[in-house]
Structure 1
Amino acid sequence: MGVLCVVVCGAGPAVDVGTLVDLARAGGWEVQVVATRSALPFLDVGDLEARTGRPVRSAYGAPGQPRQGSASAASALVVAPATFNFVNKLAAGIADDYALGVVAEAIGMGRPVAVLTWVNQALANRAPFRRAVADLRGEGVTVTVAPADDDRPDAFPWAEALAAIKVGVEFQRPE
């Protein structure tokens, strides 16, 4: 199926992102994990690297180094869990973090991108967030607003995240 870039943000469900990695690999994807800096404390990086056979990326390489295993070479991207901050920055075109840059570039290249949020109801009610979701959808991004349950982050709908990209794979960017 190609390379699926899984972008993970710093939120409770991130500890279980290996579930998405396993589902994607079982579905025929090669997987590259990209983590925001705030996601790193949630992750078992060694375990994810063993599962994927690739390094977890969270920063740009040094100048002059080849772009080995570049996430921009991915066939499709899933951002899960996506935080309030990540969604708002992405929609506003702010790429001040490696993960944001990877996703922004993929959108601009017309790659299928699915974003599954983990945002509490108070933040999801905010007008800037609603606009950000609408703007991303307007660019062809599949955005699913999953209700955050801070008491049960293990209930994150990982299978839905993978299903969202399957919908996205069928998306053809209008010329």
Structure 2
Amino acid sequence: MTRTVYLFGSAAPPVLEVDGAVGELHRRGWDVCLGLTPTAADWLDDRIGTLEALTGHPVRSAYKRPGAPDVWPRADVILFAPVTFHSLNAWALGLTDRFVVGVVAEAIGKDIPTVAMPCVNAAYARHHRLDRSVAELRDMGVTVLYGEGGFVPNQPGTRHPYPWHLCYDAVDNAHPERASRT
């Protein structure tokens, strides 16, 4: 049985490592469909063809036209990583002008297990909206890997390695009865 994960990324530095994330998800038995915010798609523009070959699916960053067929299989799980301050807050507020934010907002109502791991610096983390958005998404059933046991903000201008492994484990555990043995 094929398991499909939608891997969504917004414009934070770890999105530049998305090919490694696709590879690890494949290794764990997932079919991967890649969606990006418009800015993330721009950052990866010269690699879109390679990423499409790697996933076997079109990379999407915009809504399809009404009536157009869907080019992806149905998601079993959605992973939004990295998710920026902007995308996380837009999602919690239901502002769905961007394709990936619209899909994850709708996933809540469709009961599609969704995992998110922010990538924000400590200056953004001081903004009250971030904690509110994280709490609201968690209340809606989203697994948000933030704080202890998840992404911990760094000081502006510094970076630590993005803890992708936490994302992979959370995706595998989203449906324990179907999780691959890793």
TM-score normalised over the length of structure 2: 0.86
Name the residue aligned to 1:173.
Answer: none
* Post-superposition offset of 1:39: 0.5
Equivalent residue letter for 2:58:
P
Correspondence list, 1:79-94, <5 A: 79-94=80-95
Indicate the residue corresponding to 2:43 in structure 1: 42
What is the alpha-carbon distance in structure 2 between the residues aligned to residue 91 and residue 169 of structure 1? 23
Which structure: greater strand fraction?
1
Where does 1:87-166 land on structure 2 (aligned, <5 Å)? 87-145=88-146, 146-149=151-154, 150-152=157-159, 155-166=161-172
Whole-angstrom CA distance in 1 between matches of 2:95 and 2:175:
25
CA RMSD, Structure 1 to Structure 2 (Å): 1.8
Higher mean displacement: 86-95 or 156-165: 156-165
User: 2:158 and 2:124 mapped to 1: Cα distance?
Assistant: 17
| Match among 163, 169, 175 for residue 175 of structure 2 | 169
How do 1:18-33 residues align onto structure 2 when only pairs under 5 Å count? 18-33=19-34
Higher relative contact order (CA 8 A, sep 6+): 1
Instruction: Using the TM superposition, give the Cα deviation of residue 148 of structure 1 relative to its aligned residue in structure 2, in angstroms.
Output: 4.3
Structure 2 runs not aligned, ≥5 long: 177-182
Alignment partners' CA distance in 2, 1:30 and 1:45: 17
Structure 1, residues 64-110: CA drift from partner, whole Å, max 9, x if none?
3212216xx11100001000011111011111111111111111111
Structure 1 residues 168, 126: closer, same or farther in 2, change over 3 A?
farther
Does structure 1 conserve the Cα–Cα contact (< 8 Å) formed by 2:117 and 2:144? yes
Residue of structure 2 equivalent to 1:61? 64
CA distance in 2, matches of 1:164, 1:142: 8
Aligned partners of 1:62, 1:113: CA distance in 2, in Å? Answer: 24
Matched letter for residue 41 of structure 2: L
Q: Offset at 1:160?
A: 1.3
Give the paired residue count.
168
Matched-pair identity in %: 36
Letter of the aligned partner of 1:30 in structure 2? D
Write the distance in 2 (CA, Å) between the matches of 1:126 and 1:9.
19
Match of residue 77 from structure 2 = 76
Q: Do the aligned partners of 1:8 and 1:34 also contact (CA within 8 Å) in 2?
A: yes
How does the TM-score come out when normalised to structure 1?
A: 0.89
